[in-house]
Amino acid sequence: MSKPVVGILMGSDSDLPIMQEAAAMLQEFGIEYEMTIASAHRTPKKVLEYSTTAERRGIKVIIAGAGWAAHLAGVIASQTTLPVIGVPIDSSPLKGLDALLATVQMPGGVPVATMSLGKAGAKNAGVFAAQIIATSDVKIANRLKVYRVEMERDVEEKAKRLMVITAAPEIKETAAVEPGTPAAKKKSRRRRWKKKPGGSSPAQGPTA
Ligand code: AIR
């Protein structure tokens, strides 16, 4: 096993279900990573130690996720010139608005690349870290291209399925109840798609 090139840090073990999304993406691209808990408030010495030694240990990108007064990514960024990706976590009564502002609002000079809130942000952090690594690793760059093609194909397949369901009411009934299918999940939303007046094919967008 080769040495980790991405470090994933989170403020608490309660952030793990979110931050696992970043790890899953790195795994998908075959990128070695390490993961630990470090809090800018509860374990500041550990954060300092990690930030100041990461580069010499071979880490190329750091992903930092925290909720509430989320200073983790900013504090790490202040101690290293490695790119730092921040993931604001919606774990507070303010539903992450506090973490979002604390992570994104870095003063000029010390950037944190801030992702969206929660799971989508953690997933994007994994992809973005891969994109940074890919600038000097053609193997990862090619895997990212395949990932995009597969994502496009996946959406097209869902769109085709939706066309079939909306065009044929008898199929609609059976497909809609199949658990886990997009049709089942979007059952109520599908009703907002209506056929063009006088035509048999569905309109190309929601009517609402
Ligand atoms: N946190 C921990 N130390 C500093 C901060 N900002 C954050 C964690 C977590 C939240 O506080 O990132 O999202 C709540 O942590 P806990 O351990 O109380 O569940």
Per-residue pLDDT, 181: 56
Q: Answer yes or no: is the C-beta of 40 below 6 A from any ligand 1 atom.
A: yes
- Domain co-membership, 73 together with 50: yes
Q: Answer yes or no: is the C-beta of 11 below 6 A from any ligand 1 atom.
A: yes
- Domain co-membership, 80 together with 60: yes
Cβ atoms of 90 and 67 within 8 Å: the answer is yes
Q: Please give the average per-residue pLDDT across 161-167, as a whole number.
A: 91
Distance 172 CA to ligand 1 centre (A): 45
Distance 78 CA to ligand 1 centre (A): 20
Whole-angstrom distance, CA of residue 44 vs CA of residue 76: 10
For 90-104, the pLDDT digits (tens) are 999 999 999 999 999
Determine the residue of 9, 10, 12 to mutate for testing ligand 1's pocket, defined as the one with the most ligand atoms within 8 A of the Cβ atom.
12
191: confidence class by pLDDT, cuts 50, 70, 90: very low
- Domain co-membership, 90 together with 162: no
- Domain co-membership, 132 together with 142: no
